[in-house]
């Protein structure tokens, strides 16, 4: 089983460029999340979605946009990349369990460098 | 606001030792608590999930306990092996029934042969 797949795995951008990270899951999960992981800061939630067509802001949403047009895909966009967005980005998904999140499944990560 | 703390930030032990990793959280109104393992350059892998109504969960050499009233969880690793070397993170939801999880910064474990 593929689980959670992130593309691309590595990307280098120049300041001001735009890009989209794609997350795909094949487990029919309702919830999907985008986190960033930085040294000393831990995992921080950027945006999340509780179902197809819905999105919500997390802890650090500024500079990012997301879309969930299909249940299996969750896209993270950077409209104008900044060096502060250099990070490792993780996508995760989980099924709803009695109104809350269940076991979380993570992708392998996407390492983004903004010059 | 839910805050999750993991102490110590790093731990080094000899092979074969039993060890305990700690996780504390500020808001006891949680839905569940999850423990993860992260190897260098990799994503997180779920180890154990404890529902708020449970006291502990076991998987092989791992045992996780939960004390909601004191805002604490522990991950017990028995007979540690070099392959257990990784960073261990815990996560809780921000409030009962919320869809969002808050992560601790992790404990980096090194098991020396």
pLDDT digits (tens, 9 = 90+) for A34-63: 999 998 888 999 999 989 999 999 989 999
* A34 within 8 A of A22, measured Cβ to Cβ: no
Task: Give the closest of A58, A99, A109 to B100, CB-based.
Answer: A58
Across the interface, do B43 and A108 touch by the CB < 8 Å criterion?
yes
Which of A100, A102, A109 would best serve as a mutation to test chain B binding (most B beta carbons within 10 A)? A100
Residue in the structure block whose two tokens are 């250099």? A86
In a 13 Å sphere around the CA of B57, the CA atoms on its Cβ side amount to: 16
Q: Which residue of B has its CA nearest to A3?
A: B45
Question: How does DSSP classify residue A13?
Answer: E
Residues B29 and B42: their CA atoms lie apart, in Å, by 31
Residue B40: burial class (beta carbons within 10 Å; 0-12, 13-18, 19+): exposed
**B76 - beta bridge partners?**
B20, B63
Per CB-CB distance under 8 Å, the chain B contacts of A40 are: 105
Residue-by-residue DSSP string for chain B: ---EE-S-SEEEEETT--EEEEEEES----SEEEEEEE-TTS-EEEEEEEETT-SEEEETTEEEEEETTTTEEEEEE-S--GGG-EEEEEEEESSTT-S-EEE---EEEEEE-
Q: What is the pLDDT of residue B29?
A: 84
Closest CA of chain B from A79, distance in Å: 25
Closest CA of chain A from B23, distance in Å: 14
Residues A17 and A19: their CA atoms lie apart, in Å, by 7
Q: What is the pLDDT of residue B52?
A: 85
Residues A106 and A32: their CA atoms lie apart, in Å, by 10
Residues A114 and A17: their CA atoms lie apart, in Å, by 9
Across the interface, do B104 and A42 touch by the CB < 8 Å criterion?
yes
Buried b / exposed e along A92-106 (16+ C-beta atoms within 10 A): bbbeeeeebbbebbb
Mean pLDDT (chain B) is 92
Query: Given a cut of 80, is residue A112 above it in pLDDT?
Result: yes
B46-83 pLDDT tens trace: 999 998 889 999 999 999 999 999 999 999 999 999 99
Mean pLDDT (chain A) is 93
For residue B28, name the pLDDT band (cuts at 50, 70, 90): confident
Residues B33 and B47: their CA atoms lie apart, in Å, by 11
Least confident range of A32-36, A97-101, B87-91: A97-101
Both structure tokens of B98:
């919320």
Both structure tokens of A29:
């999960």
Residue-by-residue DSSP string for A45-94: EEEEESSTT--EE-SS-TT-EEE-SSTTEEEEEESS--GGG-EEEEEEEE
Across the interface, do A48 and B100 touch by the CB < 8 Å criterion?
yes
B-contacting residues in A 10-49 (Cβ below 8 Å): 31, 33, 35, 40-43, 45, 48
For residue A97, name the pLDDT band (cuts at 50, 70, 90): confident
Across the interface, do A107 and B96 touch by the CB < 8 Å criterion?
no
Q: What is the pLDDT of residue A103?
A: 87
Query: Given a cut of 90, is residue A100 above it in pLDDT?
Result: no
For residue A18, name the pLDDT band (cuts at 50, 70, 90): very high
Residues A99 and B113: their CA atoms lie apart, in Å, by 44
Mean pLDDT computed over A97-111: 84
């Amino acid at each position: 089983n593929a689980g959670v797949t992130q593309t691309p795995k590595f990307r280098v951008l120049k300041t001001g460029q735009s890009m989209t990270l794609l997350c795909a899951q094949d487990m029919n999960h309702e919830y999907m999340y985008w986190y960033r992981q930085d040294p000393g800061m831990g995992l921080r939630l950027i945006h999340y979605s509780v179902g197809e067509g819905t999105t919500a802001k997390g802890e650090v949403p500024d500079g990012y946009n997301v879309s969930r047009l299909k249940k299996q895909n969750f896209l993270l966009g950077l409209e104008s990349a900044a060096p502060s967005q250099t990070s490792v980005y993780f996508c995760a998904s989980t099924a709803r369990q009695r109104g809350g999140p269940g076991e979380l499944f993570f992708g392998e990560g996407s390492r983004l460098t903004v010059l | 606001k839910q805050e999750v703390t993991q102490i110590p930030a790093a731990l080094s032990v000899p092979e074969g030792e039993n060890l305990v990793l700690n996780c504390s959280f500020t808001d006891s109104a949680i839905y569940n608590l999850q423990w993860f393992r992260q190897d260098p350059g990799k994503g997180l892998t779920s180890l154990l999930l404890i529902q708020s109504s449970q006291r502990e969960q076991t998987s092989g050499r791992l045992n996780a306990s939960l004390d909601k009233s004191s805002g604490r969880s522990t991950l017990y690793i028995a007979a540690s092996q070099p392959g257990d070397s990784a960073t261990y993170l815990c996560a809780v939801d921000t409030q009962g029934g919320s869809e969002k999880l808050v992560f601790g910064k992790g404990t980096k474990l090194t098991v020396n042969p």
